[in-house]
Structure 1
């Protein structure tokens, strides 16, 4: 019997769309929750608390999603390494998008009492579970179709989804920012959540047209897939898994400080209008996107690890001057603060996809990069807004917050120094040889 004809190699454009569009939607969903947590959820779902306690409770609900992310990374990563990347990418899109839409129609505490925050937490857990497997799949659907010389560039496709998600979520909230406070609290905050239903359809169409890369299909055909990828990772690659997790702390630590915490700090402490802050963050995403491009190209030329090290070093240095600029209350100074923060994030984002693809074998790669990314995200993203709020309340100084973010970034800087690529690692004795990252179908046939 003749073997089935393999699917045609997808174009670079279709790979970009499937990786980028879905990730944009996932992060749109995630960031509108963070924005709503900063602006509305405290009084709508936790009205019995004081102002500070209500904000902390809203951020805690935001953090709950991060708790679900490592679980989602492990489970979705398992099936991504066993069944395929494409199937899991469609699943993550539906989980996150569906939960986001339901948050948009969720009754508040005033309507159904304590059931409102409980349901919000449940939907947040579903949302976090879906996001847990999103980034890894989006990275791999691109990098595993790439040649070795373009690994970081292809790995950056999914990374564009982060600033685009910020861009579209801020646009959505800017569209309702002109409403009165009463109207915003009554229905305005719901609109960005409801819009996500349309975006999910776009992402579903883009991803349903793709297929898994040749190297994964070959492993499936050879029946050399890992039985339990997560267990193999902890047994065979614990060093890289731990270091990659620690290296993943800095990007969300910087990102969520700007995108989530600054919305509260900037309005309540620094004296900015809500619409002004949203506009400044929106403007900085243009620089963020451009920096990802430059960083990805530089990573393919000089090495992803070197560029990522540079990015984490800038993340250590920038928090203190960033808060000092925001504390001036000047719009121009705040724009500079957010613009440089966008450059810091862009440097790390452009290198991270290529770097993480290089440090895990294909048979455990979905699980490896997903678990590492989400563990780092839980530490750098979930805890940061809560810790920042508590630190400022305790010390009445933004420098305490800046020092905390710099310390988290320092952990990532030290960790990435010790990360090693697949070729630098000993091969597991009882595991089949893994294909190198970025092998093309042509290379496999030689």
Structure 2
């Protein structure tokens, strides 16, 4: 059984006066500071090797009680001494009981990185140099003066008539015709002859190898929500940190704010509180509703102790502390963490969130995992936990280290 569950069971069995006596003995013993293992030996006369050798003071223990009991070393030390309450109480003087007021847990402040905008230099284009002006072309001047029309007419008047030509042989005409025919034939044949000596102008086509198209890459959808898949999963302030913010249970659902390598940042849903969890401890796919609301309520009516209730358990969801105490009486114990307050009664406790009842837990029941699975096909199952969900309720069974069982009823979407 996890140490947090042992604490809740001890709160259900030990009255407030006994717990105050033990807390006063612890603060007196740790006044000057010493290791938790040495303090346990001095208070009980016994040795407990599982306790931390780290030195703690009475101030550390007092602050731990007020801040929600998140230090696992002090939690193990405190539970071990509560289990030795008879030894501690037999030697103590009964102190005056002072009720402690739960203190709000400080939220981690996440600094935002300031990114300075980059400035790029602007390069101005160079101005083109204008071209030089072109000099005008000089006009042509003839070497001799052209004769006037009158002078030309005088020259015509002096022209003598031509003498009659002599008859010549017509051989020249035949030669001229032959030349013309050869010229025409050569002109007609020139394109064909010239094509024989011209290089081919047809370009050679080179086939390039076809580039294979890239295979489509499947896009990974960002996670929006996950469910806790293991019992007592620690949510820490940073990945790979030992600073535990909250311990979640199988079947708890959370929204995902950020993904980083093998860790997920979860929104815890109160005062912007967040916590990192390993991917190995969550489930991304959740089975749909497996049983009905009537199945859940009928099973509760015959399988868990309801002597404390005047009405059926579902009537208590949403009640504030005053309404709850008015219906079932004053609680025998009280505890809290960063998300919840717990009102402890014999055999069960109520989990309060935002000052309203969120869940009811029956501890040390006579149910076994085998009998619990007779309800039908579960929504989710592990070696030490089973979850059933209907449209309105989540019904869970947790198995402890000593095979003890705890039943939790939660109302969904409150």
- Which bin holds the TM-score, normalised by the shorter protein? under 0.3
Relative to the length of structure 1, the TM-score reads 0.20
| Higher-Rg member (1/2) | 2
TM-score (norm 2): 0.21
Work out which structure has the larger RCO, using CA pairs closer than 8 Å and 6 or more positions apart in sequence.
1
